[in-house]
């Protein structure tokens, strides 16, 4: 019992910096969601039940555009497909002693940062440690959305409208640094921009819905970069 508690506390201590970072990012999501007409409670529930930054921002775009449910599902499947691979890798580190239910709970909060912390741990992964690792990130992501939504609802309409550019600023901040360092990322960005422009301006392509456009551009750019810049097996191991 004592060992489980120590493992849980170790996980909580490891996850608190992630929780703080998640609070700041989800604060922006909550404020922008309210600015787009989503209710505070609805935005908070989205963060509580999803916990995926790129997926939620893309989903918010589709919600505002009135996209169909199948477009939402397909978009989330494409954007969040990396989590399936991350969960497979994490599952191999868990061992056979961890049952199905704990694995499902752990998979729910298996984000990029939590995955990195878990895989970097030299000691064996345990259920108490992983549950503690995910506690504060979930709390930070949800609470940040709630606070951002409440703050956004109290702001003047002009400021709430201006928050609509927050999404684009965030993506620029995320994409530009790695694009300057790796040409593969740069080409992926350029291909995505070119495809998005085609779907926005071409007479036939611009009739497609926004959700389907996101999916096609994502898959096409990823497939093109996979063909142009294949990863050697020795480097992938």
Task: For 112-152, give the DSSP string.
Answer: HHHHHHHHH-SSPP-HHHHHHHHHHHHHHHHHHHHHHHHHH
Give the pLDDT score at 142.
96
Residue 216 tokens, joined = 């096609």
Residue ranges of the chain with per-residue pLDDT less than 70: 1, 160-171, 173-174, 231-237
Give the pLDDT score at 237.
41
Mention every residue, 6+ apart, whose C-beta is less than 8 A from residue 82: 112
Mention every residue, 6+ apart, whose C-beta is less than 8 A from residue 102: 127, 130, 131
Burial level of 232, CB count in 10 A (0-12/13-18/19+)? Answer: exposed
The 10s digit of each residue's pLDDT in 74-100 is 888 888 888 888 888 888 888 777 888
Burial level of 177, CB count in 10 A (0-12/13-18/19+)? Answer: exposed
CA distance 113 to 22: 10
Mention every residue, 6+ apart, whose C-beta is less than 8 A from residue 176: none
């Amino acid at each position: 019992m004592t060992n489980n508690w120590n493992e849980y506390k170790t996980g909580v201590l490891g996850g608190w910096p992630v929780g703080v970072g998640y609070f700041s990012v989800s604060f922006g999501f909550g404020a922008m969601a309210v600015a787009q007409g989503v209710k505070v409670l609805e935005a908070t529930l989205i963060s509580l039940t999803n916990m995926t930054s790129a997926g939620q921002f893309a989903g918010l775009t589709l919600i505002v555009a009135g996209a169909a449910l199948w477009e939402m599902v397909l978009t989330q499947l494409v954007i969040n497909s990396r989590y399936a691979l991350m969960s497979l890798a994490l599952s191999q580190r868990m061992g056979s002693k961890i049952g199905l239910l704990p694995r499902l709970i752990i998979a729910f909060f298996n984000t990029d940062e939590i995955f990195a912390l878990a895989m970097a741990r030299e000691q064996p992964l345990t259920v108490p440690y992983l549950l503690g690792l995910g506690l504060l990130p979930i709390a930070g992501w949800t609470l940040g959305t709630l606070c951002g939504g409440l703050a956004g609802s109290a702001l003047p309409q002009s400021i709430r409208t201006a928050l609509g550019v927050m999404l684009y600023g965030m993506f620029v901040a995320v994409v530009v640094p790695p694009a300057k360092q790796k040409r593969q990322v740069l080409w992926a960005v350029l291909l995505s921009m070119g495809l998005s422009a085609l779907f926005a301006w071409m007479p036939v392509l611009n009739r497609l819905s926004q959700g389907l456009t996101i999916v096609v551009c994502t898959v096409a750019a990823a497939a093109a970069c996979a063909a142009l810049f294949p990863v050697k097996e020795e480097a992938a191991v």
